[in-house]
Every structure is written in C-alpha cells, then in structure tokens.
Amino acid sequence: MRDDDSIQQGPREPVEDRSGVSRRDFLKISTIAAAVPVVAGPRVVMAAGQEVRVHGPGKVPVELSVNGKKYKASLEPRVTLLDALRDSWDITGAKRVCDKAECGACTVLLDDKPVYACSILAIEVQGTKITTVESLMEDGKLHPIQQAFVDNDGSQCGFCTPGFVVACKALLDRHPDPTPEDLRHELSGNVCRCGTYAGIRAAIAQIARKGA
C-alpha cells in the first residue's frame, strides 16, 4: 500500500563495521539483555555514524495513542502494531490475515495515512496518532462510509471489511470525489475473498455523489 513515505525508517543500508555494531556485537547485546530484568530501557549504540537506540530483546515499555486514548503495555520489540492492538488491548477491528502486507485486512490510519498494521512494529509508532475502524462511529452513529457499506452491502463474511472501510475513509479524505484511477490506486492494497467489490464500489459512488 502506501505506507512507505509515512514512517521514519531506520537505516536501510546493511550495518557495516564503521557503524559500531556488528552482528557479533548484536549477539552479545542479546545475551546481555537476556540476563537483565525483563523490562529494560534501550541501549544506545553507534550505527551508520548515528546514535541508535537498541531495544530489547525482552520486553520494553510501549505506549501508543489509539483512537485518542493512551494504551500501555510491556512488549517485546518484535511485536507488531497489529498484534499489540489485538492481543494486548483487545482492539480487534483490524484483522490478521496474511500478516505480511499483502491483503490490507489490518489497515489502520497512522497520522491519517492508511498503513498495514501487520508490518509495523508497535514500538516504532509511539508518539503517532493511530486510528482504527472502531473510532469511525460517532455517538453511536455510523460514519457515512460505513453507512454506505451497509446500504450497498459491501460486506459478506466481513473479515476484510474493517480494512476496506478504513482504506475507503482515507481515500475519500484525500479524494472527496474519486476518479476511477484514484480508486484503482487507493484500494489496490485490499483484498476480499467473498467478492464484495461490487458493493464496495457502489458504496464509494454513493458517498462521492453526496460529497461527504
């Protein structure tokens, strides 16, 4: 999908000798960390000429802002945003399907941009605004895009639906009157097995007409 420009990535290049942390050092760090209490603060090492905080292994404190509320947990750094949402805080609207950024069922908004929650570590999105499908309803009333899904039967088994709803919301936020090309681009990252695309397309058309 389109999460590539939304997150500050760590160094992409393979870490070389000059970086100050070799594979051997990393293994040493692992050993040390394994011996210290389960929750430990990050250790700072030099990588690519920059100071890099090394978290874990072992659990570290993580605090996320989800749907306007703070959530805390003690998580291993390898835990994804998706698993943190689902398994630590029981926020289960985003679904785990492919678990490797292929199907879009876990789509959430990160600072209003749609991303795959299965392919982001929880620890790396502290301090950003995370929005899930659960927050789209206001005062018990469905968001217009949700209502349009209901009106046009945009779900069958419904397992891909939360991901589609979030992706459609992001699409309409960016393109209130989307062209077919916008649809092609913005919804190409979500997959449905039951075959609800006709309903989803009709749902978007309904909203676009209303200009919501």
Query: In the complex, which residues of this chain contact other proteins (CB under 8 A)?
Result: 76, 78-79, 83, 86-87, 90, 92-100, 102-103, 105, 132-134, 136-137, 142, 146, 149-151, 153-162, 165, 183-184, 187-188, 190-201
Nearest CB to other proteins, comparing residues 37 and 127: 37
Q: Residues near 100 by Cβ (< 8 Å), separated by ≥ 6?
A: 118, 119
Least Å distance, CB 57 to other proteins, is 10
What are the tokens at 83? 């698993």
Strand partners, 141: 138
Answer whether 120's CB lies under 8 Å from 81's CB.
yes
Determine the Cα–Cα distance for residues 117 and 129; give it in Å rounded to an integer. 13
Q: Closer CB to other proteins, residue 19 or residue 196?
A: 196
CB of 187 to other proteins, least distance (A): 5
| Cβ at position 50, least distance to other proteins in Å | 28
Q: How far is the CB of 16 from other proteins (least distance, A)?
A: 28
Question: Beta 60-66 vs 50-54: how paired, if at all?
Answer: unpaired
132 contacts 93 by C-beta, under 8 angstroms: yes
Looking at the Cβ atoms of 25 and 76, the one nearer to other proteins is 76
Nearer to other proteins, 127 or 180 (CB): 180
Write down the least CB distance from residue 152 to other proteins, Å.
9
* Cβ-contact 60, 40 below 8 angstroms: yes
Nearest to 115 by CA among 89, 139, 85: 85
**Please, which residue, 96 or 113, has the CB nearer to other proteins?**
96
